[in-house]
Amino acid sequence: MKSQDIEELRQLIEFLKQHQVAEFDIDRGDLKLRLKFNSPEGGSASLNDLARLLRTAPPAVTQAAAANTPAGTADAAESEDNPDAGLHLVKSPIVGTFYGSPSPGAAAFVSPGDRVEKGQVICIVEAMKLMNEIEADASGEIVRCLVANGQAIEFGQPLFAIRTA
């Protein structure tokens, strides 16, 4: 860390302590930081309070906190309390358009609750007018489909969550 980053971090910590924020997450590229303070009996600030406080914060504190959004904080909290955290994600090997069935109006390849075997076709990704069959890379139960039919998807984007155990 650069000395400027350390100074911004000190200002952020002081700001959070001053306003009795109990927890704070920040994800800035390869830097991931979670601050958790022991709070007095009075409780801690809510996300709305934090947003209001950040609007009035010094510029260095606001810049340091800019990478942290309420959604990012919710994601971090959800991953700790999420019973589905150990699920296997089937990711798209290509960029294209996701299709959950072989043709419009046909039954879906898989649905939540279905058991799949490694190598089984679970969807199609259309790329440059070619229909690419995507196979399950693990055996297990489909817990959820993470994309909508006809949605544009990116390389490496999670498509399905599979419970392998």
Burial class (CB in 10 A: 0-12, 13-18, 19+), 99: buried
Write down the mean pLDDT value for the chain: 76
Residue 68 has pLDDT above 50, yes or no: no
Q: Which residue has the higher pLDDT, 136 or 35?
A: 136
Residue 6 has pLDDT above 80, yes or no: no
pLDDT digits (tens, 9 = 90+) for 45-57: 555 555 555 555 5
Domains, the chain, in order of start with CATH, read 3-81 (no CATH), 88-163 (2.40.50.100)
d(CA 118, CA 116): 7
H-helix or E-strand spanning residue 73: helix 70-81
Question: What is the model's pLDDT at position 94?
Answer: 93
Residue 146 has pLDDT above 50, yes or no: yes
Lowest mean pLDDT among 11-15, 42-46, 93-97, 105-109: 42-46
What mean pLDDT do residues 130-157 have?
Answer: 92
What is the percentage of the chain residues whose pLDDT exceeds 90? 42
Structure token digits, residue 163? 């419970």
Residue 165 has pLDDT above 90, yes or no: no
Residue 82 has pLDDT above 60, yes or no: no
Question: What is the model's pLDDT at position 97?
Answer: 94
